[in-house]
Amino acid sequence: MCGRFFRHGVSWEEYHNALNLIHPNGIQPPEPAYNIAPTQYAPIIRMAPEGEDVPRHAIQMAPAMWGLVPSWWKKPLSEKKFSTFNARSEGLEASNTFRGPFRHHRCLIPASGFYEWTGPKGKKQPYAIGLRNRRWFCFAGLWDRAMIDGSEIDTFTILTTKPNDLMAGLHTRMPVILHPSDYRTWLDADNRKVEHLYEPFPTADMHAWPVNPAVGNVRNQGPQLIEEA
């Protein structure tokens, strides 16, 4: 499960070095964000959709809303009652919601860490979870484009998998975190043999620390949210 994440500031040079990402002319890289929640917009990295004025097979960054809306959804978003901010990596090709995006619209979601809560109801303690010696990394995700009320909307979901030893004490699921060497493999929609990418990220390369409960309010922002409580 991943219902909240954060991202430090990352330069275009860093994105380019990791992914050969196209630099948008005159546009600054995304600002840091420390309390990203479902229904908010966040940058995703994807293969440029056909028809866009960019080189073939180019990798681009684009804004998308967190909470995938499948292309076949035509009703107002207020009528969508099923949750799609996470997608179980098991059984993607059997899912009416995620089968199409898995085959055609895979993406990466840049992040520096995520949050989980544990403990008794009413006294849950939030934890921030990140990678050791890595300022940023990417979740595996899916995106889709739907036409809602006459306007196109791009949305995304974060894939989840079984927990590693660190996460098992916090939650029954964890996001699929990709190694940089696998970024291109995941983005290549022609490659269907990607089950090995769903393995939990190594416990030894991750760490978790308690943070202030203020992170529970999505209106709270700032780097102080990830300071150890």
Q: In CATH, what number is assigned to the domain containing residue 33? A: 3.90.1680.10
Distances (CA, A) of 189 to 42, 107, 116, 147: 22, 10, 30, 22
User: How much is the pLDDT for 132?
Assistant: 96
Contacts of 108 (CB under 8 A, 6+ apart): 19, 44, 45, 46, 138, 139, 140, 141, 178, 183, 186, 187
DSSP conformation letters of 16-43: HHHH-----TT-PPPPPEEEE-TTSEEE
Q: What is the pLDDT of residue 190?
A: 86
Cα gap 193→119, rounded to integer Å: 38
pTM of the model: 0.95
Q: Are 227 and 154 in contact (CB under 8 A)?
A: no
pLDDT, tens digit, 9 for 90 and up, residues 169-219: 999 999 999 999 999 999 998 888 999 999 999 999 999 999 999 999 999
Q: Output the six-digit token pair for 1.
A: 């499960």
Q: What confidence score (pLDDT) does residue 216 get?
A: 95
pLDDT at position 54: 64
User: How many independent structural domains does the chain possess?
Assistant: 1
Measured torsion, CA atoms of residues 220, 11, 1, 140, in degrees rounded to the nearest 10? 160
Residues of the chain predicted below pLDDT 70: 1, 51-56
pLDDT at residue 52, as a whole number: 63
- Judge residue 109's burial from the number of C-beta atoms within 10 Å of its C-beta, 0-12 exposed, 13-18 middle, 19 or more buried: buried
Tokens of 39: 């229904």
Contact 183, 144 (CB under 8 A): no
Give, as one character, the DSSP assignment of residue 155. E
- Owning domain of residue 119: 5-226
| Side chain identity, residue 159 | L
Q: What are the percentages of helix, strand and coil residues in the chain, rounded to 5?
A: 20, 35, 45
pLDDT of residue 51: 64
Strands 151-161 and 86-88: parallel
**DSSP string over 165-184:** HHHHTT-S-EE-EEPGGGHH
The residues assigned a catalytic role are 2, 116
